Chains A and B, each alone.
Chain A
Amino acid sequence: MARAVVTLPAQAKRGEIIEIKTLAQHAMETGFRRTQTGDLIPRDIIRRFTCTYNGTEICRVDLHPAIAANPLIAFNTVATESGTLTFQWVGDNGYSVTEIAPIRVE
């Protein structure tokens, strides 16, 4: 159900700036839409995305209803050491997805 995809190079040179692309599967319901009978559809969004590199926070993103469905977040980081990158999405109604990606730095 709750799926997320992370794209990053499997290996990189030390000090190289790498691009990371993340995509989470989520409707990002704004809370401004109505059903045909006029009832407001309650808000259901991903509120926060965080990326940590071997425990160090790289970036923290606050998402608002103006982010399109299936939010794409692309950013950069410096490849400093081999290890793992942890990605976490947290949202309304207890939504929480964690994805881990390894990286090899030479």
Chain B
Amino acid sequence: MRLSLHCVGGFTGPAGAENRSVDVDSLAANEGAHVRSLVQALDLAQLPATLLKARPQPWDFTYTLTVDGRQVRFHLDAAPAPLRELVEVLERHPPG
């Protein structure tokens, strides 16, 4: 399972967008299990394609998470807890 996270906003916008990609199979056993449980809790198949705030402000960065081809575009404040936690886990990995 591969997870990719794209994040855009701030002064630089698309020019400074951060991309992270993680192969869950390559993670340490504990972290991999944690990520899998979060993905399962998230149930991407049932999630709307966008979870955006109705009235975003300049500090609302826009994220796109891709898991095995399925995508959700969201603001953190509009995301369910497992999605926010996934972002937290993925942001521990360096962008590249």
Chain B binds chain A: no
Measuring CB to CB, which residues of chain B are less than 8 angstroms from any residue of chain A? Answer: none
